[in-house]
Amino acid sequence: LMRRKGRMPPYSRECPRLLLHHLKPAGLLFSLRVRDSSGAILATGLFPHDAETVYFWGGSSWQDGRDLNPNDFLQWSAIRLASERGLKAYNMCGPGRFKRGFGGDLLELRRWHKSYSLPARWARRGYEMYFRAWVRLAARFTPSVFPPRPTA
Q: pTM higher than 0.75 for the full model?
A: no
- pLDDT tens, N- to C-terminus, the chain (152 residues): 677 777 777 788 899 999 999 999 999 999 999 999 999 999 999 999 999 999 999 888 888 888 899 999 999 999 999 999 999 988 887 766 777 777 777 766 667 778 889 999 899 889 888 888 887 776 666 554 444 555 54
Inter-residue contact 90 to 104 (CB < 8 Å)? yes
Q: What residues have CB less than 8 Å from 97, skipping those under 6 apart?
A: none
Inter-residue contact 78 to 56 (CB < 8 Å)? yes
Q: Give the model's pLDDT for residue 93.
A: 79
Q: Give the model's pLDDT for residue 146.
A: 42
104 DSSP 8-state letter: -
Question: What's the CA angle centered on 107, arms 105 and 109, to 5 degrees?
Answer: 165
Q: Give the model's pLDDT for residue 1.
A: 63
Q: What is the DSSP string of 26-66?
A: TT-EEEEEEE-TTS-EEEEEEEEB-SSEEE--EEEE-GGGG
First to last CA, the chain: 22
CA–CA gap between residue 152 and residue 148 (Å, rounded): 13
Torsion sign across C-alpha atoms 19, 23, 27, 28 = negative
| Torsion (CA) 59, 13, 4, 31 in degrees, nearest 10 | -10
